Amino acid sequence: MGLSFFALAVVLFLGLEVEEGSPHLSFAAGIEVTYGTTLKLMHEKTKFRLHSHNVPYGTGSGQQSVTGFPNVEDANSYWIVHPIPDSSAKQGDPIKTGTLIRLQHMRTRKWLHSHLHASPISGNLEVSCFGGDQESDTGDYWRLEIEGNGKTWRQDQKIRLKHMDTGGYLHSHDKKYARTAGGQQEVCGVSEKKPDNIWLAAEGVYLPVNTNSEKSASS
């Protein structure tokens, strides 16, 4: 799904504002996460944000590394929520539990990815960033699992993301890299549901729900 002019303008504005160190939206009940939203994912247990920048792993795949980052204001922790390529979903559509989604790193345009390479610290499944606007595969597909009774993704809901190809849950913990700025922690994939698999949608620009989608859902 390509960004519309409006969404691109939002992303550009967001990028400029982040450079100035300004925090964005705090948690709010009822705000829906829709396709095209640009957000940060916060690891519930450690409060670190899912993060990437143009630094490759020194082991495993050698792809762009993904970590947990403690600085809330860092611009490299923003991700754009996309459907998978063969989906009929449109920008502004709500996202139901069980749906396959992709997360695109805003700065580098690569996709949140996983595979069977071992993660650097714990030896679990490596999580990396891969591809680009015109390059994506099933290694970029994650199934949204909402905790509790929620049917569509909202900002105040706990979620898990399960990787389609490997079955691993997006996971982090307090194991930190010794040579990274700011004490970044490992992000990896694990096969079991654990408290360390839980994430929350945090700061970002949340696109409003597409009213046509709401009408279709109610008809």
Mean confidence (pLDDT) of the chain:
87
Nearest to 66 by CA among 81, 56, 79, 78: 56
pLDDT in tens, 65-115: 999 999 999 999 999 999 999 999 999 999 999 999 999 999 999 999 999
Determine the Cα–Cα distance for residues 101 and 88; give it in Å rounded to an integer.
12
pLDDT in tens, 183-195: 899 999 999 999 9
Name all domains of the chain by residue range, CATH numbers in brackets.
5-208 (2.80.10.50)
Q: Is the pLDDT of residue 28 over 90?
A: no
